[in-house]
């Protein structure tokens, strides 16, 4: 494995661990913020390294586009929490963009794992249509399940941080 690939893999593992911790633990604590920053830094590293890897297709392709989208959701989730503006919307924006950032990470991890199944792998001539079908199907499945859970948990997760209306 090349050094850039090693850094990509290491940052993916850190992001998966930190992201899982943030999802499962209490929100709004100092530890949440520290682990959240670890997630953000590892995702930034993961996406920058993804933009430097071309072994699969030899050109800028779908995974590079996914990395750009991932960077956008990450930034869109960090900025509201950092600025806390607008006062009535920052929490919602942070919650949804960070949730979708994590879902993108999970979709990539599941797709990467699924394409390692010997029957799906394409060793000669690049990725096959089966490879791309597996990537799309498992990614869509992660977003369907994750999106449903994210919407279902929204109020319960964010309500403790909303100011009581007078």
Q: Residue 120: its pLDDT value, please?
A: 61
Q: Indicate the average pLDDT of the chain.
A: 90
Under DSSP, the state recorded for 166 is -
Q: pLDDT band for position 119 (50/70/90)?
A: low
User: Comparing 96 with 132, which gets the higher pLDDT?
Assistant: 96
Q: pLDDT band for position 165 (50/70/90)?
A: very low
Q: Residue 130: its pLDDT value, please?
A: 76
User: Comparing 4 with 164, which gets the higher pLDDT?
Assistant: 4
Dihedral sign, Cα of residue 75, residue 77, residue 81, residue 85: positive
Residue 124 pLDDT exceeds 60: no
Torsion of CA 142, 6, 43, 156, to 10 degrees: 50
Residue 58 pLDDT exceeds 60: yes
Q: Residue 115: its pLDDT value, please?
A: 75
Contact 49, 4 (CB under 8 A): yes
Question: Residue 131: exposed, middle, or buried by beta-carbon count in 10 A (0-12, 13-18, 19+)?
Answer: middle
List pLDDT tens digits, range 39-53: 999 999 999 999 999
pTM: 0.89
Q: Residue 118: its pLDDT value, please?
A: 65
Q: Tokens standing for 139?
A: 């990614």
Residue 53 φ/ψ, nearest 5 degrees: -100, 125
């Amino acid at each position: 494995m090349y050094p850039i690939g090693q850094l990509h893999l290491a940052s993916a593992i850190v992001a998966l661990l930190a992201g899982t911790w943030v999802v499962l633990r209490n929100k709004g604590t100092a530890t949440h913020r520290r682990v959240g920053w670890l997630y953000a830094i590892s995702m930034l590293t993961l996406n920058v390294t993804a933009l430097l890897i071309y072994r699969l297709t030899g050109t800028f392709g779908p995974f590079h586009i996914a990395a750009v989208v991932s960077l956008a959701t990450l930034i869109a989730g960090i900025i509201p929490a950092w600025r806390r503006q607008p006062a009535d919307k920052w929490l919602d924006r942070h919650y949804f963009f960070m949730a979708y950032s994590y879902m993108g990470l999970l979709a990539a991890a599941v797709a990467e794992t699924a394409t390692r199944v010997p029957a799906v792998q394409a060793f000669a001539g690049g990725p096959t249509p089966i490879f791309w079908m597996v990537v799309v199907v498992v990614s869509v499945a992660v977003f369907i399940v994750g999106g449903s859970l994210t919407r279902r948990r929204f109020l319960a997760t964010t309500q403790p941080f909303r100011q009581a209306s007078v």
